[in-house]
């Protein structure tokens, strides 16, 4: 599967206007193919609500749903995200605490615009410069995926009498607890902050579950039951995802509660540090980002994408 070293950002921050313009041009060049592939009117790009861009791509809310009934298209250069979404399609019925994904495609020739050349980046573990020669070289490939739209969680949780500080504390503890479990599952990754004592681990557990294994009152108030089930399901399938500490990566589905809304690497505007231009990509370390996304997942026996444009 792709690794952290294959996670070269498509653009660094919204302040990087050159990178943003290049990404916009690639998406616009493929708009007719995307429209045809997802059963959308060719005006989809001009009528869609632009949710925003991170370091790896952009998300769009569609005025007209795709032919499969989804109303969000995410275009991402995160190969680990593309790998994991394709993997999820092979695992049968998924728990409700994971966003519902539709089809996934890779952008091909239509996205090769002037100015795309070989990329060189710095391996964040060895500090050595590495030429990117993966799928779609010499340019960075983009993946397009359809998914359901989910509203932000903070307004919903506020109506459930929870303030931001309470939500952030709960999620921070959840990340640490899950990180500890993941470290035991995949010790070679050496991520997370393991608990110092079994007592610390037990006290964290009791924030989510009662001693008899039922959910705590706080978990129910948070609407986090399905989220906890989703984390267990992902870990059972050896998919290590820890980027639910940021409430922006979660959504709310009526009847479900908290849902993992974004399985990719998070790096929204204002986080990490901005780089001056596309040419400085090779000097940027991924550890400067705040999100984690999927850190590990099993290999796929077939191609990442169902089709290509």
Q: What is the pLDDT of residue 72?
A: 96
Count the domains in the chain: 2
Q: In this structure, are 15 and 137 located in the same domain?
A: yes
Which tens digit of pLDDT belongs to each residue from 42-95?
999 999 998 877 667 889 999 999 999 999 999 988 888 888 998 999 998 999
Examine residue 198 and state whether it is found in any structural domain, yes or no: yes
Q: Give Cβ neighbours of residue 165 (< 8 Å, ≥ 6 apart).
A: none
- Tens of pLDDT, residue by residue over 185-222, are 877 766 556 788 899 999 999 999 999 999 999 999 99
Helical segments of the chain, H only:
17-29, 31-38, 44-47, 79-89, 153-159, 164-185, 198-208, 217-222, 225-236
Residues 6 or more apart in contact with residue 220 via CB below 8 angstroms: none
Q: Report the Cα 169 to chain-centroid distance in Å.
A: 21
> Alpha-carbon dihedral of residues 242, 243, 247, 253, nearest 10 degrees?
-80
**How far is it, in rounded angstroms, from Cα 225 to Cα 240?**
19
Give the chain's mean pLDDT.
80
pLDDT the model gives residue 122: 47
Closest CA to 29 of 139, 120, 147: 139
Does 14 map to a domain? yes
Q: Are residues 126 and 168 in the same domain?
A: no
Question: Is the pLDDT assigned to residue 286 strictly greater than 50?
Answer: no
Q: Is residue 116 located within the same domain as residue 27?
A: yes
Range of the domain at 83: 4-150+265-308
DSSP 203-244: HHHHHHB-TTSPBPHHHHHHT-HHHHHHHHHHHHTT-EE-TT
Residues 48 and 63 sit within 8 Å (Cβ to Cβ): yes
Which of the residue ranges 146-150, 241-245, 263-267 has the most confident prediction, judged by mean pLDDT?
A: 146-150
Mean pLDDT in residue range 100-119: 79
pLDDT at 283 over 50: no
Q: Which residues of 258-283 are buried (b: 16+ CB within 10 A; e: fewer)?
A: bbbbbbbbbbbeebbebbeebeebee
239 with 138, same domain? no
Position 170 in a domain: yes
Q: Is residue 257 part of a domain?
A: no
- The mean pLDDT value for 276-296 works out to 48
* Residue 260 located in a structural domain: no
pLDDT of residue 26: 85
Condensed to tens digits (0 to 9), the pLDDT of residues 11-51 reads: 544 345 666 777 888 899 999 999 999 999 999 999 999 88
The reply to whether 57 and 169 lie within a common domain is: no
Higher pLDDT, 306 or 156: 156
Q: Give the model confidence (pLDDT) of 144-192 as tens digits.
A: 999 999 999 999 999 999 999 999 999 999 988 988 888 888 777 665 5
């Amino acid at each position: 599967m792709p690794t952290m070293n294959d996670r070269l950002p498509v653009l660094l921050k919204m302040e990087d206007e050159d990178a943003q313009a290049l990404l916009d041009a690639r998406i616009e060049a493929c708009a007719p193919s995307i429209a045809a592939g997802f059963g959308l009117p060719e005006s989809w790009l001009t009528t869609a609500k632009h949710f925003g861009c991170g370091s790896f791509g952009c998300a769009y809310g569609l005025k007209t749903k795709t032919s499969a009934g989804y109303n969000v298209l995410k275009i991402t250069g995160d190969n680990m995200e593309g790998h994991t979404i394709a993997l999820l399609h092979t695992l049968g019925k998924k728990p409700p605490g994971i966003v519902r994904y539709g089809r996934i495609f890779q952008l091909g020739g239509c996205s090769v615009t002037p100015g795309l050349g070989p990329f060189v980046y710095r391996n964040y573990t060895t500090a050595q410069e590495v030429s990117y020669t993966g799928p779609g070289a010499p340019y960075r490939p983009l993946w397009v995926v359809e998914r359901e739209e989910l509203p932000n969680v903070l307004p919903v949780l506020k109506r459930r009498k929870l303030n931001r500080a309470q939500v952030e504390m709960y999620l921070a503890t959840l990340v640490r607890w899950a990180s500890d479990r993941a470290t035991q599952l995949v010790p070679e990754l050496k991520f997370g902050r393991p608990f110092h004592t079994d007592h610390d681990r037990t006290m964290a557990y009791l924030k989510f579950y009662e001693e008899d294994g039922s959910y705590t009152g706080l978990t129910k108030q948070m609407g986090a039951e399905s989220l906890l089930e989703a984390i267990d399901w992902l870990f059972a399938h050896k998919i290590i995802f820890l980027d639910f500490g940021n409430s922006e990566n979660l959504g709310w589905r009526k009847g479900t509660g908290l849902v993992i809304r974004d399985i990719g690497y998070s790096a929204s505007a204002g986080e990490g540090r901005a780089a001056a231009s596309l040419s400085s990509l090779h000097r940027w370390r991924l550890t400067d980002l705040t999100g984690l996304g999927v850190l590990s997942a099993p290999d796929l026996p077939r191609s990442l994408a169902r089709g290509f444009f």
